[in-house]
């Protein structure tokens, strides 16, 4: 009897131990009890009632990437191009993801394709090529709002490739080459212009510096000449002052004036105007010399013998 009890106990223990379930990190399990949603198990240890509970779906809550294949899209100006995109998403509600749609990932792929066609259909070719960020933002908003009831959170959408037709690509390449040539011509013209302006400014600065140098040289020469004249006059004034301090009378000073006049004449054809006081002094000196005989350095001449003139009447 005890064998039967032991066997039943072992079976019960095995069944109890077999009901333990360990949910890994970043995973969630959707559990049904008797065919009806019962609970969502997160990471950790859980117990499943044997023959009653059932793990209906296992899913990861990590972010996933949905790479949609290239698809034809027609722009506003009737240009057909191939565009493929990448959708980044993660599951935020395991229950909605399990019961919201039959195949949520496939539904997300179809929704991304149709939304992309609608957005690009409102744009021209040039706007499509230059508005990637705008298209990505609109797609992210549309997909995120539409997939809320599926338990999916769309975090980002990126356009991988935009491939226009071959003739459009050739035309774009020609346009880009023409634009590059135009920019090169403009840059060369700007460089030539800047070179001419720089050269003209250099010539202008050189002329200004040369004029300033000549002006400074003239100023320096004028200052030197003025200083020389000043020093000469100062030396003359110092000499006269020394004579006055030595007690020299007016006659010596007059003599010095004559010496100065002689130096000014220097044997050249010059007119010298003698002041009145100097003329008066010369006149007085001449009168004194004639009166006294002093100062007359002229040697007296010899008396010539008188010869008798012949008498025309008697001396025949």
In 3D, which of 58, 60, 139, 143 has the Cα closest to residue 107? 143
Question: Residue 267: what pLDDT?
Answer: 54
Per-residue pLDDT of the chain (316 residues; tens, 9 = 90+): 677 777 777 777 777 777 788 889 889 999 998 888 899 999 888 888 888 888 888 999 999 999 888 889 988 888 888 998 999 999 999 999 998 888 899 999 999 999 999 999 898 888 888 888 899 999 999 999 999 999 999 999 999 888 888 888 788 788 888 888 888 889 889 888 888 998 888 888 889 988 888 888 888 888 888 888 888 878 877 776 776 676 655 666 666 666 666 665 555 555 555 555 555 555 555 454 455 444 444 444 444 454 545 544 444 4
Cβ burial 165-185 (10 Å sphere, 16+ → b, else e): eeeeeeeeeeeeeeeeeeeee
Bridge partners (DSSP) of residue 126 are none
Beta bridge partners of 87: 66, 157
pLDDT at residue 255, as a whole number = 65
Q: How far is CA 100 from the centre of its chain?
A: 58
Backbone angles phi, psi at 67, to 5 degrees: -95, 105
The 10 Å Cβ neighbour count of residue 30 is 20
**What pLDDT was estimated at residue 65?**
92
Task: Give me the pLDDT at residue 89, please.
Answer: 94
C-alpha dihedral (193, 196, 200, 201), degrees to nearest 10: 60
pLDDT of residue 266: 58
pTM (two decimals) = 0.54
Residues 135 and 73: their CA atoms lie apart, in Å, by: 13
DSSP β-bridge partners for residue 41: 29
């Amino acid at each position: 009897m005890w064998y039967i009890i032991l066997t039943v106990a072992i079976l019960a223990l095995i069944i109890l131990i077999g009901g333990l379930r360990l949910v890994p990190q970043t995973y969630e399990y959707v559990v049904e009890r008797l065919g009806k949603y019962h609970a969502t198990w997160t990471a950790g240890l859980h117990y499943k009632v044997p023959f009653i509970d059932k793990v209906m779906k296992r899913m990861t809550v990590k972010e996933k990437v949905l790479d949609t294949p290239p698809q034809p899209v027609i722009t506003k100006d009737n240009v057909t191009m191939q565009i493929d995109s990448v959708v980044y998403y993660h599951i935020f509600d395991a229950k909605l993801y399990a019961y919201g749609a039959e195949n949520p990932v496939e539904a997300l792929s179809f929704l991304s394709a149709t939304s992309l066609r609608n957005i690009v259909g409102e744009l021209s070719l040039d706007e499509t090529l230059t508005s990637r960020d705008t298209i990505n933002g609109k797609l992210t908003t549309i997909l995120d709002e539409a997939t809320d009831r599926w338990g999916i959170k769309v975090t980002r959408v990126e356009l991988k490739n935009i491939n226009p037709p071959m003739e459009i690509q050739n035309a774009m390449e020609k346009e880009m080459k023409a634009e590059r040539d135009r920019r090169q011509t403009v840059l060369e013209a700007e460089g030539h212009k800047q070179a001419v302006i720089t050269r003209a400014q250099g010539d202008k600065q050189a002329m200004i510096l040369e004029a300033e140098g000549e002006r400074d040289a003239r100023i320096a020469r004028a200052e030197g000449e003025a200083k020389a004249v000043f020093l000469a006059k100062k030396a003359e004034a110092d000499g006269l002052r020394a004579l006055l301090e030595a007690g020299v009378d007016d006659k010596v000073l007059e003599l010095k004036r004559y010496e100065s006049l002689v130096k000014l004449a220097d044997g050249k054809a010059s007119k010298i105007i003698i002041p009145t006081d100097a003329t008066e002094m010369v006149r007085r000196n001449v009168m004194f010399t004639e009166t006294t005989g002093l100062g007359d350095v002229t040697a007296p001449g010899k008396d010539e013998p008188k010869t008798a003139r012949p008498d025309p009447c008697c001396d025949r």
